[in-house]
């Protein structure tokens, strides 16, 4: 059986990918405001990086956008429709999430995990081919029969990404997708995500990865947007100093012309 030529994601041209609009979204836990009136937008089919120090609200914002947390205020619009007003299942057909270090005690094969991506969809005979094709695209096709627990951290992350692709989303939310990955797979993963043409919002720790791969970056501090825009406009010494508390020197990448940052303590 060959599934190599099965289309993985429905061919998403940037023109038919929907834009994401986050309008004044707030979320609080135990009376503490964690996400404080955030407003941002992601253009159709582009990748936006969510940056900020630990505890700045990146993960919480992603979860609020995903609908895992119910926002206290504000709306999340995907292609004009209110994600918060949708039934969970309908939302899951349009939005896929890859979380940080998500694991399980249950004995599962890699293919089982990837097939979870079909959960919100009606079961179909083509599901397995689709899952295998997704594995192929993240370079894990040969490991489809492997026990989840024998995988390395980086392999697990790629399997989760394959699962998210199998969900055939219009919006991809990634929480630290490059954690655990070696440099090769960090670059490979982000290159790949960009090539999908799916509207993507990704929390990233590495400012240089964000600078190299994102169309837009949004810097959070204390649950609010501290700066937003093109990487070369936002990742400047002033912003880095005030948000992260370190000194930064900005250089230009000799080949891509994108900013490359080097850091030193204040």
Partner 1 sequence: MTTTAAAPAPAPAGAPAPAVRRSGARTTAWIAVMAVVLAASVTLAVTIGSADLHPLDVWRSIGDHLGLSSSSLSQLRDGIVWELRLPRVLTAAAVGAALAVCGAVMQTLTRNPLADPYLLGLSSGASVGAVAVLILGIGWLGLPVAAFAGALLALLVTFALANRRGELAPTRTVLAGLAVSYLCSAATSFIIFWSATGDSYREILSWLLGSLGAASWTDAGIVWVAVVVVGAVLVSRARTLDAFAFGDSTASTLGINVNATRWTLLTLVALLTGAAVAVSGAIGFVGLMLPHAVRFVVGSGHRRVLPLAALTGASFMIWADTLARTLFDPRELPVGVVTAFLGAPAFAVLLRRRRVGR
The number of helices, as runs of H, and strands, as runs of E, in the chain is 9, 12
The residue among 89 and 241 lying less far from partner 1, judged by its C-beta, is 89
The DSSP letter of residue 179 is T
Instruction: Mark 168-207 with x for binding to partner 1 (rule: CB under 8 A) and - for no binding.
Output: ----------------------------------------
Name residue 169's beta-bridge partners.
none
Question: Which positions from 73 through 102 interact with partner 1, judged by CB under 8 A?
Answer: 88-93, 95-97, 99, 102
Instruction: Determine the Cα angle at 258 with ends 66 and 35, to 5°.
Output: 25
**Considering CB under 8 A, how many residues would be counted as binding partner 1?**
41
Q: Which of 214, 256, 217, 215 is nearest to 236 (CA)?
A: 217
Which range binds partner 1 by CB under 8 A, 43-51, 74-82, 118-126, 198-206? 118-126
Instruction: Mark 200-239 with x for binding to partner 1 (rule: CB under 8 A) and - for no binding.
Output: ----------------------------------------
Q: How far is the CB of 11 from partner 1 (least distance, A)?
A: 22
Sheet strands side by side (includes 171-175): 95-98, 171-175, 199-203, 47-51, 216-221, 224-229
Our finding on whether 112 is near partner 1 (CB under 8 A) is: yes
The residue among 92 and 204 lying less far from partner 1, judged by its C-beta, is 92
Among 9, 34, 50, 63, binds partner 1 (CB under 8 A): 63
Among 25, 61, 144, 190, binds partner 1 (CB under 8 A): 144
Which residue ranges make up the site for partner 1 (CB under 8 A)? 1-2, 4, 63, 66-68, 88-93, 95-97, 99, 102-109, 111-113, 116-117, 119-120, 123, 132, 141-142, 144-145, 147, 149, 167
């Amino acid at each position: 059986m060959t599934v190599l030529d099965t289309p993985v994601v429905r061919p998403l041209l940037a023109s038919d990918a929907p834009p994401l609009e986050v309008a004044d979204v707030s979320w609080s836990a135990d009376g503490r405001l964690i996400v404080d009136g955030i407003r941002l937008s992601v253009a159709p089919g582009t990748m936006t990086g969510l940056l900020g120090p630990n505890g700045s609200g990146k993960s919480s914002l992603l979860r609020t956008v995903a609908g895992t947390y119910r926002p206290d205020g504000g709306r999340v619009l995907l292609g004009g429709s209110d994600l918060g007003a949708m039934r969970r299942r309908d939302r899951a057909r349009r939005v896929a999430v890859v979380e940080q270090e998500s694991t399980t005690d249950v004995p599962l094969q890699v293919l089982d995990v990837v097939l979870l991506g079909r959960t919100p969809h009606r079961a179909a005979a083509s599901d397995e081919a689709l899952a295998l094709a997704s594995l192929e695209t993240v370079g894990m096709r040969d490991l489809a029969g492997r026990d989840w627990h024998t995988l390395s951290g980086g392999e697990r992350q790629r399997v989760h990404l394959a699962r998210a692709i199998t969900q055939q989303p219009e919006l991809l939310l990634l929480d630290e997708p490059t954690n655990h990955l070696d440099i090769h797979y960090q670059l490979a993963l982000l290159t790949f995500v960009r090539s999908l043409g799916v509207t993507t919002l990704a929390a990233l720790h590495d400012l240089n990865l964000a600078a190299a791969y994102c169309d837009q970056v949004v810097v959070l501090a204390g649950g609010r947007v501290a700066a937003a825009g093109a990487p070369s406009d936002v990742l400047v010494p002033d912003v880095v100093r005030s948000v992260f508390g370190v000194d930064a020197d900005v250089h230009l990448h000799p080949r891509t012309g994108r900013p490359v940052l080097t850091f030193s303590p204040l």
